Amino acid sequence: MNILILPHVTMNLIVASDYTHYADDILRIIKNFQNEGNLIGPGTRNIVKWIIINKMTLNFKSFKQHNLINRHVYKYYRKSKAKRSFEYAHLLIAKNFFTPKPIAYVEFHDCIGLTSSYYISEQLENAFTLEDVFLNKNSFEDWTEIVKGYTLLIYQLHEQGIEFIDNSPGNFLIKKSNNEYRFFLVDLNRMNFHERFEIPDRFKNFSRLTNSLDILKIISHEYSLLSGISPEHCLEQIVKATNRQKTKRRIKKVLKFYKYFLK
């Protein structure tokens, strides 16, 4: 659905086939997004809110405004983050992975490029994050089983050639059902798809996960059982990738520090 909103501003609204009856409500909420809904998180970068529509709780994610160059890029050369999130969610579901139900995405464009975009999905109730487990292991009696379940999920993604770039613990929602843990991927806009996902690149995919050696040992051992690669090699490569990422973060912080004082 393409609609002219203001002079020189157009909107593109795509709604999943089962949820077309939500279209008017979605537009109404986005029109007054600053004053609608309940904020999730600090809202310092992207703004995420939950809102109830027709007894269904939806999650609205408003992506951070891009600079002038990226606005142009995301209109003419790359799919917006909202569109990628919507399409990748459908792709994951088609491959029998779990993610909150994709409801819709909305893009606004002017003559220069993308001005704003929103991704709307189901809001999962009674879920916790993998980060909750990592930070509060003592609160989860079977935390090692949860870590093993996470490792199985990542291995299955890798076997399908899927690289979940934002593979960090906050991007996995977990629900327990019938004594089994179900993992839902969120923050989907950054993924790579490989015909053959090489082993060294698979290990690099763990670089953003955790600095906890205890957790990395469990992941390495479980990935070894699944892949046939020795646990020692798995651990060595994952730790190397994690340390490289830590170094990059330190350098980035130093550069930000000097940039701030050299203004």
Check residue 252 and give its pLDDT.
Answer: 74
> Does residue 133 share a domain with residue 111?
no
CATH code of 199's domain: 1.10.510
| Helix axis angle, 143-159 to 213-227, nearest 10° | 50
**Distance in angstroms (rounded) separating the CA atoms of residues 167 and 182:** 16
**Distance in angstroms (rounded) separating the CA atoms of residues 64 and 230:** 42
Give the range among 16-20, 24-28, 170-174, 243-247 with minimum mean pLDDT: 243-247
Domain boundary among 122, 141, 159: 122
> Does residue 150 share a domain with residue 83?
no
> Does residue 229 share a domain with residue 138?
yes
> Does residue 178 share a domain with residue 72?
no
> Does residue 148 share a domain with residue 69?
no
CATH code of 14's domain: 3.30.200
Confidence of residue 262 (pLDDT cuts 50, 70, 90): low
Confidence of residue 259 (pLDDT cuts 50, 70, 90): low
> Does residue 44 share a domain with residue 18?
yes
User: Is a pLDDT exceeding 80 seen at residue 118?
Assistant: yes
Identify the CA nearest to 184 among candidates 120, 94, 118, 89: 89
In a domain, 260, yes or no: no
Secondary-structure percent of the chain, ordered helix, strand, coil, rounded to 5: 45, 25, 30
In a domain, 257, yes or no: no
Say which residues have a Cβ less than 8 Å from residue 196's Cβ, sequence separation at least 6: 161
> Does residue 138 share a domain with residue 115?
no
Confidence of residue 184 (pLDDT cuts 50, 70, 90): very high
Q: Where are the alpha helices (DSSP H) in the chain?
A: 23-31, 68-76, 81-94, 130-135, 143-159, 199-204, 213-227, 231-261
Beta pairing partners, 172 = 185
**Segments forming the whole domain that contains residue 21:** 2-122
Mean pLDDT to the nearest integer, 165-175: 97
In a domain, 184, yes or no: yes
Read off the pLDDT of residues 76-111 as tens digits, 9 standing for 90 and up. 899 999 999 999 999 999 999 999 999 999 999 998
**Distance in angstroms (rounded) separating the CA atoms of residues 255 and 259:** 6
> Does residue 94 share a domain with residue 20?
yes
**Count of structural domains within the chain:** 2
158-183 b/e with 16+ CB inside 10 Å = b?
beeebbbeebbbebbbbeeeeeebeb
Number of helices and strands in the chain (H, E): 8, 12
Domain boundary among 122, 143, 166: 122
Identify the CA nearest to 15 among candidates 83, 110, 79: 83
Domain boundary among 81, 107, 122: 122
> Does residue 214 share a domain with residue 175?
yes
Count of residues making up the chain: 263
> Does residue 133 share a domain with residue 247?
yes
Residue 69 vs residues 72, 77, 106, 263: alpha-carbon distances, Å: 5, 11, 20, 22
Exposed/middle/buried for residue 20 (C-beta within 10 Å: 0-12, 13-18, 19+): exposed
Residue 109 vs residues 3, 65, 80, 196, 212: alpha-carbon distances, Å: 11, 12, 11, 36, 43
Residue with tokens 């809904």: 37
Residue type, 38: N
Q: Are 174 and 127 in contact (CB under 8 A)?
A: yes
User: Is a pLDDT exceeding 70 seen at residue 246?
Assistant: yes
